[in-house]
Amino acid sequence: MKKFLYHGKKNICGDRIRLARLGKRLSQTDLARMLQLQGVPAERDIISRMEMGDRLVTDYEVVTIAEVLDVSVVWLLGKEE
């Protein structure tokens, strides 16, 4: 599979995931556990790779992350301030 990069990263939401997670005072492990409770397989290292832009983030992951962090998908994707 060809790896696509956008401005040197594999996703556009990693920075916002980190920002929202820290705003909620959650660790990467906390976020991974919250995603697991929603049926999304995740571990701390996956969250780390998402936030660094080293991993693609699927559409269902974006939706679930937005829900558990109580932010909009639009904000998570950087289209809303």
Tens-digit pLDDT profile for residues 40-59: 999 999 999 999 999 999 99
For residue 34, give both structure tokens: 């919250």
Cα 76 to Cα 81: distance, rounded to the nearest angstrom: 10
Write the CA distances from 62 to 20, 33, 47, integer angstroms: 13, 15, 12
- Return the pLDDT at 7: 80
- Return the pLDDT at 81: 67
Cβ proximity of 46 and 31 under 8 Å: no
- Return the pLDDT at 61: 97
Mean pLDDT of 30-41: 97
- Return the pLDDT at 4: 78
Residue 3, pLDDT above cutoff 90: no
Band the pLDDT of 62: cuts 50, 70, 90.
very high
Q: Is 6 helix (H, G, I), strand (E, B) or coil?
A: strand
Total residues belonging to the chain: 81
Cα 66 to Cα 1: distance, rounded to the nearest angstrom: 27
